[in-house]
Structure 1
């Protein structure tokens, strides 16, 4: 098997290792994500291929959701590396949650290397209709309008 040597790739790899905190925590660039709103909840998909599900740690502190995961190398002890391009180590990503999120009902699932978070919108933040009362000249509610207003309260 022939391998080519690219000195610039090696320099990029070394620079990336130096920018991490001691090589143990990496940036969010290894944890790509998609985020979208579907009806009354948000959905986050985070790519975490090769991560042991037991190493995934999710915390909510005030309005910050922290995702931590660890990926270990799969080589036997004493192995001589010929190429090592897949990232390994502990990774952290933080998301700011708005005040209109139901933090107690966040759901997480990990399947096929993808962590999926379902984050519901709090009841107080969901859209709703407000009934407008109609009053006559004396300031009284009309008979039909009173029933609508009573039902709305």
Structure 2
């Protein structure tokens, strides 16, 4: 197979690599839904070393950071190189109705799953309704 070099394609690749290096962190696509008494967040992070993933809560903000390291093989002739080192960042504001102390996360097959439990005080609850017969008089 013979590949020819196109000046415009080479320039496009060079410009994209320069722009990618100055753009900063990239966003990661997510799905977020409520299931029962918890919120579930799935974030796509393919090719990420699980050790580079950082999930933290600071005040009412949930932050997810991850880093993909560029392949630095030597002695090969790169024909295409579009999966360079990248950093990813996504931040979410948490409402009062979640329990930040019980947030958990796992990473499997390129997908980060974050479980955000609903706080006890935010869960629906039944209120007992009394009748006039069960009401107690208050003496002052």
TM range (shorter): 0.7 to 0.9
Q: TM-score w.r.t. structure 2 length?
A: 0.80
Q: TM-score w.r.t. structure 1 length?
A: 0.74
- Report the equivalent of 2:33: 36
Structure 1 residue 73 displacement after superposition = 2.2
Is 1:27 matched with 2:20?
A: no
How large is the RMSD of aligned CA atoms in angstroms? Answer: 2.6
1:40-95 deviation digits (Å, cap 9, x = unpaired):
00000011111000000111100111111111123413543221223532211111
Instruction: Please list, as runs of the form range in 1=range in 2, the aligned pairs for 1:1-153 lying within 5 A after superposition.
Output: 1=1, 7=9, 10=12, 13-14=16-17, 16-17=19-20, 20=23, 25-28=24-27, 31-135=28-132, 140-141=133-134
Runs (5+) with no aligned partner, structure 1? 147-153
Structure with a larger share of its residues in helix: 1
Cα separation, 1, equivalents of 2:121 and 2:3: 59
Runs (5+) with no aligned partner, structure 2? none
